[in-house]
Amino acid sequence: MITRTLGRSATNGGLNVSALGLGCMGLSHGYGAAVEDGAAIALIRDAVDRGVTFFDTAQVYGPFTNEELVGKALAPVRDDVVIATEFGFSLPSDTAPTGTGLDSRPEHIRSTVEDFLRRLGIESIDLLYQHRVDPDVPAEDVAGTVKELIAEGKVKAFGLSEAGVDVIRRPHAVQSVTALQSEYSLFWREPEQAILPTLIELGIGFVPFSPLGKGFLTGTIQASTTFAEGDLRGKLPRFTEDARAANQAVIDLLTAIAERVGATNAQVALAWLLAQHESIVPIPGTTKLHRLAENVAAAEVQLSAQDVADLTAASDQLPVQDERYPEAMINR
């Protein structure tokens, strides 16, 4: 697996990670029933064997169980991997989750980090993201708290998730932001307008989540597909039956390019992302070993400049139908 560096600011040497990471959320949260622990651990360790060194989890995945799973799976190779997790929701203890409101108060960040370290079984968090911007807490205060945690050795690098351009610059002036995690794919290209140029200017890495459009870009989801209970896609406007039918043109385009270069739809979608800039490290998730192997192989897919240009130009002509999330899930 080739590697890339997240964050190149003068005060932060950056994190060296595999060009493709593994988003671990789906192993225990968001896409139906959780994967049995033994199978999930086997998948994470198979990812390590295939050269993946960057693993993403969060307190709300489960909640809490995903961090424990990731910590257990990576314990034997702790020194060889980068573990990212996220704070920012009001889940104050393992035994009494009281809600999912935003909470980035400094005291809550500190108590949450102690929980992270215990659940993950580690002494320092490699990359600590603010999961969502909290409008009630100044971004500078959040960055200042993380800066203190870095000085104490409990955190190595600071990240943001789904933050806008107006927010990114403020905490970055207090504590260098190593990476921004936000949705980005051929299914959601909004970050190209202002986010990506700002990150490149500031030397901040970009970690796209849902780089395969929550599975849609693989071509395996049809208008007739039904989603299991607990699968978040069943609640998303972009995954209604009508939207899936309307968005099939995106899949037809991707399939044509994939056939041309001798790769799968998923591999081309990931290779297209990697080609956008050297600071981009997508984190596709999966619960299946064969899909993991397919995704990891995308790092070796060589798209020509013409392939990338053709895919981008054609995508420009195929606007995706419907919103990413319903109103009730914004900032969640």
CATH of the domain at 145: 3.20.20.100
**Residues 311-320 pLDDT 10s:** 898 888 877 7
On whether residue 46 sits in a domain, the answer given is: yes
The rounded distance, in Å, linking the Cα atoms of 169 and 164 is 9
Helix (H, G, I), strand (E, B) or coil at 128: strand
Burial of 148 (0-12, 13-18, 19+ CB in 10 A): middle
On whether residue 253 sits in a domain, the answer given is: no
Give residue 331's pLDDT.
47
In sequence order, the 6+-apart residues with CB closer than 8 A to the CB of 138 are 170
In the predicted model, is pLDDT for residue 330 greater than 80? no
User: Which domain covers residue 79, as residue numbers?
Assistant: 3-213+267-302
Q: Residue range 292-316: average pLDDT?
A: 93
| Longest CA pairwise span in the chain (Å) | 54
Give residue 323's pLDDT.
75
Tell me which of 31, 61, 129, 184 is the catalytic residue: 61
In sequence order, the 6+-apart residues with CB closer than 8 A to the CB of 220 are none
**Count of structural domains, the chain:** 1
Residue type, 218: T
Q: Which pair of structure tokens corresponds to residue 70?
A: 């990731």
On whether residue 18 sits in a domain, the answer given is: yes
- Would you place residue 121 in the very low, low, confident or very high pLDDT band (cuts 50, 70, 90)? very high
On whether residue 315 sits in a domain, the answer given is: no
Render 227-284 in DSSP notation, one character per residue: --TTBGGGG-GGGSHHHHHHTHHHHHHHHHHHHHHT--HHHHHHHHHHHH-TTB----
First CA to last CA distance, the chain: 32
The rounded distance, in Å, linking the Cα atoms of 118 and 207 is 25
Note whether 182 and 214 are within 8 A (CB): no
**∠249-254-255 over CA atoms, to 5°?**
95
- Would you place residue 329 in the very low, low, confident or very high pLDDT band (cuts 50, 70, 90)? low
Catalytic site residue 31?
no
Q: Residue range 30-55: average pLDDT?
A: 96
On whether residue 239 sits in a domain, the answer given is: no
On whether residue 138 sits in a domain, the answer given is: yes
On whether residue 77 sits in a domain, the answer given is: yes
Q: Residue range 200-222: average pLDDT?
A: 95
Torsional sign, CA 111, 116, 118, 123: negative
On whether residue 312 sits in a domain, the answer given is: no
In the predicted model, is pLDDT for residue 139 greater than 90? yes
Helix (H, G, I), strand (E, B) or coil at 207: strand
